[in-house]
Amino acid sequence: MTLKIGVIGTGMIGRDHTRRIQQVLAGAEVVALSDVNLASAESVRADLAPNAKLYQTGEELIAAPEVDAVLVTSWGATHEPYVLAAVAAGKPVFCEKPLATTAEGARRIVEAEVAHGKRLVQVGFMRRYDAGYVALKDAVQQHTGAPILVHAAHRNPAVPEAYVTPMAIHDTLIHEIDVFRWLLDDDYVSARVLYPRNAARSHGKLRDPQVVVLETKKGVLIDVEIFVNCHYGYDIQCEVVGEDGTARLPEPMAIDMRLGAKRQSRILTDWKDRFVASYDVELQDFIAAAAKGSATGPSAWDGYAAAVTSDACVQAQESAGQAVAIELPARPALYE
């Protein structure tokens, strides 16, 4: 069976996911496209999915009889209504992060899915599918002993002026928020945010870099540097310190060169390249589950937990270094 997918939002990542479904992955094809900017959807159709039908609105695409499953890759603030509409239609839906821009919005999706009675939602937390993070989790479980500390960094080369201080959390830290819950099999109890002086390449509406300190239920302390104008490259770092030793996320493969009396190797500059393999695996996983009318991988509950934590981190950004408590209600049985 070929799963027929409709894509809502054909910007950077909607285009890239359409490319992988059409050219890389097995078992699915893109049959419908929609974007508020119709020219963007037309361009993706022309370049990648000539047989896809264009829809004026995401709601029409979700309701279309030829669409078996939905990809939501539009701007974060639009995700909630599309995911709710897909769940109401009983169609599996892959939603890019964030699941919703508020915890209440994510909670509404959890409630709708629980009422539906089976999983339909997968959230685009692709780091869980990254071979480096999978190896790191294995090292933590098998070798380092119980984790005590995590030191991490999330660096982007540059961001546009539209990227403002809270986006460092919703847009960027959200990947660490999810992947450390998964890596440590733990939940958060508090968040703090500290700022050094602003980097010269930042702008008036962005505090950059920032350091977020998360504390978990098991007592692990996690420090994450977010630096989105670091200039030199796209760089994701993580080291876990355990009772018996430490484990570090591997660097992406790069040729080690000796040139002009220097040792050097390339650093990536684009998230699309850094996580290219994990986007492929997460979407192949989505296709396999959606073909059976269900969903797997990072769940609406994970999206909700990330949204609760993001909200607390944004509050901590405004709380001059004070800790903000993080509390989750009981996890519904659907997500056990």
Q: Which residues bind ligand NAI (CB under 6 A)?
A: 8-14, 34-37, 40, 58, 73-76, 78, 96-97, 124, 126, 171, 271, 275
Q: Is 73 in the site for ligand NAD (CB under 6 A)?
A: yes
Q: Is 297 in the site for ligand NAD (CB under 6 A)?
A: no
Distances (CA, A) of 136 to 72, 245, 299: 29, 13, 21
| 202 contacts: CB under 8 Å, gap ≥ 6 | 208, 229
Write down the least CB distance from residue 233 to ligand ISE, Å.
Answer: 12
Question: What does the DSSP 8-state code read for residue 197?
Answer: S
Which partner in ligand NAD, ligand NAI, ligand ISE, none is near 156 (CB below 5 to 8 A by kind)?
Answer: ligand ISE
Question: What does the DSSP 8-state code read for residue 242?
Answer: E
> Distance between alpha carbon 113 and the CA centroid of its chain, in Å?
20
Binding region for ligand ISE (CB under 6 A) out of 141-149, 170-178, 190-198, 328-336: 170-178
Under 8 Å between Cβ of 124 and 95: yes
Sheet with 221-227, edge to edge strand ranges: 246-248, 235-242, 147-155, 221-227, 210-216, 188-194, 324-325
Binder to ligand ISE among 172, 299, 309, 310 (CB under 6 A)?
A: 172
Which partner in ligand ISE, ligand NAI, ligand NAD, none is near 148 (CB below 5 to 8 A by kind)?
Answer: none
Q: Mind giving me the DSSP string for 145-164?
A: -SEEEEEEEEE-S---TT--
Write down the least CB distance from residue 171 to ligand NAD, Å.
Answer: 6
Binder to ligand ISE among 82, 271, 279, 286 (CB under 6 A)?
A: 271
Query: What are 301's two structure tokens?
Result: 């509950």
Write down the least CB distance from residue 330 to ligand NAI, Å.
Answer: 28
Q: Is 105 in the site for ligand NAD (CB under 6 A)?
A: no
**Site of interaction with ligand NAD (CB under 6 A):** 8-14, 34-37, 40, 58, 73-76, 78, 96-97, 124, 126, 171, 271, 275
